[in-house]
């Protein structure tokens, strides 16, 4: 156990896969209360609603599912079946306790997803394309497991989007691998948030596999 409790600041500074496993193992048990509820976290709701509004359907893969907040909103909107993938077995265990996921797939998304190609009609991700977490190099692994025409709804932290070159990565993917790319900006937290990141925003990026 580290001396300081896990928090957003520590999560944004993570570097290696081992760092992620360590921090999220410690955070899993009270992530929903100490982070999501306390900070009025809204990104999972924006992501799930955007997916459904775009016509997204199951089977869906929730990428960097964590404790399953995005999957829970999707399930509430009638979408399923939903699988969860994440690098942290402890976060996945919390997700599976919510009884909304069909399967949990433990994987470092930078190393690919151990699932056959063309498995999913939809892919969602909330809060995982952010500082210290996944960059654009993880996108091909997500596209590989999606079927032709599959709907994607990915949240990408706005500043992370700019600094990590997501615009250029999407431009290249539009060359035959994805189509109907749209993005819009949302606030990550609600009006009850008080911390230094309370006004942070993310893009909700929508596209289909070409
Ligand atoms: C901020 S949490 C977001 C969780 C959830 N989607 C939400 O909106 O609350 C980020 C998640 O990404 C996972 N993660 C970080 N790096 C990863 C990687 N390389 N491969 C797979 N999952 C990763 C972490 O374990 C963590 O559960």
Query: Average pLDDT over the chain, rounded to whole?
Result: 95
Q: Is the CB of 121 under 6 A from ligand 1?
A: no
The position carrying tokens 């900070």 is 39
- The residues, ordered by sequence, that sit 6+ positions from 109 with a Cβ below 8 Å of its Cβ are 63, 64, 85, 87, 128, 134, 138, 141, 142
Q: How many whole angstroms from 134 Cα to the centroid of ligand 1?
A: 8
- Return the pLDDT at 10: 86
> Which residue owns the Cα nearest ligand 1 atom 10?
128
Q: How far apart are CA 210 and CA 197, in angstroms?
A: 35
Q: Is the CB of 24 under 6 A from ligand 1?
A: yes
Q: Is the CB of 127 under 6 A from ligand 1?
A: yes
**Ligand 1 atom closest to residue 65's alpha carbon, by position in its atom list:** 6
Chain segment 133-192, per-residue pLDDT in tens: 899 999 999 999 999 999 999 999 999 999 999 999 999 999 999 999 999 999 999 999
Q: How far apart are CA 90 and CA 149, in angstroms?
A: 32
Three-state DSSP class for residue 47: helix
State pTM to two decimals.
0.96
Q: Is the CB of 48 under 6 A from ligand 1?
A: no
Chain segment 125-149, per-residue pLDDT in tens: 999 999 988 999 999 999 999 999 9
> Which residue owns the Cα nearest ligand 1 atom 17?
87
- The runs of H, that is alpha helices, within 84-157 are 89-97, 139-144
Share of the chain above pLDDT 90, in %: 88
Q: Which of 84, 171, 106, 102 lies closest to 136, judged by CA? A: 171
Question: What is the CATH topology of the domain spanning 8-209?
Answer: Rossmann fold (3.40.50)
- Return the pLDDT at 3: 45
Residues 54, 43: contact at Cβ < 8 Å? no
Q: At what angle do helices 69-76 and 43-53 cross, to 10 degrees?
A: 40
Q: How far apart are CA 47 and CA 152, in angstroms?
A: 10
- Return the pLDDT at 4: 65
DSSP state of 41: B
Chain segment 11-35, per-residue pLDDT in tens: 888 888 888 998 999 999 999 999 9
């Amino acid at each position: 156990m580290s001396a300081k409790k896990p928090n957003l600041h520590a999560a944004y500074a993570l570097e290696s896969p081992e760092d992620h496993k360590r921090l999220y193992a410690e955070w899993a048990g009270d992530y929903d209360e100490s982070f999501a509820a306390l900070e009025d976290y809204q990104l999972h709701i924006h992501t799930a609603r955007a997916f459904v509004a775009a016509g997204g359907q199951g089977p869906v893969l929730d990428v960097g599912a964590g404790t399953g907040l995005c999957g829970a909103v999707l399930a509430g909107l009638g979408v399923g079946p939903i699988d969860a993938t994440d690098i942290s077995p402890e976060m996945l265990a919390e997700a599976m306790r919510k009884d909304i996921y069909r399967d949990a797939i433990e994987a470092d998304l930078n190393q690919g997803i151990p699932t056959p190609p063309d498995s999913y009609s939809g892919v969602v991700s909330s809060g995982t394309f952010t500082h210290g977490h996944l960059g654009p190099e993880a996108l091909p692994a997500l596209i590989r497991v999606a079927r032709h025409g599959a709907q994607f709804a990915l949240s990408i932290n706005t500043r992370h989007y700019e600094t990590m070159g997501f615009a250029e990565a999407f431009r290249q993917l539009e060359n035959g691998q994805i189509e109907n790319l749209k993005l819009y900006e949302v606030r990550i937290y609600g009006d009850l948030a008080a911390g230094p990141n309370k006004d942070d925003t993310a893009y909700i990026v929508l596209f289909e596999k070409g």
